[in-house]
């Protein structure tokens, strides 16, 4: 497995709105690319900082995407909006959610994420997952995006 991370920080209000609208349309298409295992997207509550993590089957799959016409869509938007986005890629050394899934064979990864959020809310803790981060999870195949919208958006 291989993971790529794209992060943009310090987006203004209009920039953030354009980026979020773009990603709502773009990420479901991206998940159809060969080798995409899952996509995780998160944003700060005000939308000014955004990060997208893509888990690929192999580094070759990520490279194929990076060499494709599809990557021109986000890079063109970044250039148009004057964003300074950072892209990195790494081999996956550990995949801990898979270990958790093995302990709970009936649950899929989306259910596990929902359980973590629900547990965090039930504990009344800092709400890191539930309150501090707006998250989208797009899974390969018949998955759906899960998004929690903050107030004021």
Average pLDDT per 10 consecutive residues for the chain, totaling 153 residues: 95 94 96 95 93 96 96 96 93 72 51 55 48 36 40 40
Do 76 and 129 lie in one domain? The reply is: no
Do 63 and 126 lie in one domain? The reply is: no
Do 57 and 20 lie in one domain? The reply is: yes
- Residue 146 in any domain: the answer is no
Of 11, 71, 101, the residue nearest 47 (C-alpha): 11
pLDDT of residue 75: 95
- Residue 108 in any domain: the answer is yes
Q: For residues 70 and 153, what is the distance between their CA atoms, to the nearest angstrom?
A: 28
**Is residue 73 a contact partner of residue 81, using CB atoms and an 8 Å limit?**
no
Q: How many domains does the chain have?
A: 2
Query: pLDDT tens-digit profile of 14-46?
Result: 999 999 999 999 999 999 999 999 999 999 999
Pairing of strands 85-91, 2-8: antiparallel
Domain coverage including residue 88 = 1-93
Do 20 and 75 lie in one domain? The reply is: yes
């Amino acid at each position: 497995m291989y993971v790529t991370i794209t992060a943009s920080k310090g987006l203004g209000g209009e920039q953030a709105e354009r980026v979020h609208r773009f990603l709502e349309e773009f990420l479901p298409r991206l998940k159809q690319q060969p080798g995409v295992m899952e996509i995780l997207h998160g944003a700060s509550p005000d939308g000014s900082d955004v990060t997208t993590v893509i888990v690929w089957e192999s580094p070759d799959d990520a490279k194929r995407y990076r060499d494709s016409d599809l990557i021109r869509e986000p890079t063109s938007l970044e250039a148009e909006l004057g964003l300074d986005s950072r892209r990195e890629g790494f081999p996956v050394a550990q995949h801990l959610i898979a270990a958790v899934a093995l302990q709970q064979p009936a649950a899929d990864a989306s259910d596990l994420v929902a359980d973590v959020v629900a547990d965090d809310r039930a504990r009344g803790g800092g709400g890191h997952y539930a309150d501090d981060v707006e998250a989208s999870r797009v899974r390969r195949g018949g998955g759906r995006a899960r998004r929690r919208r903050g107030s004021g958006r």
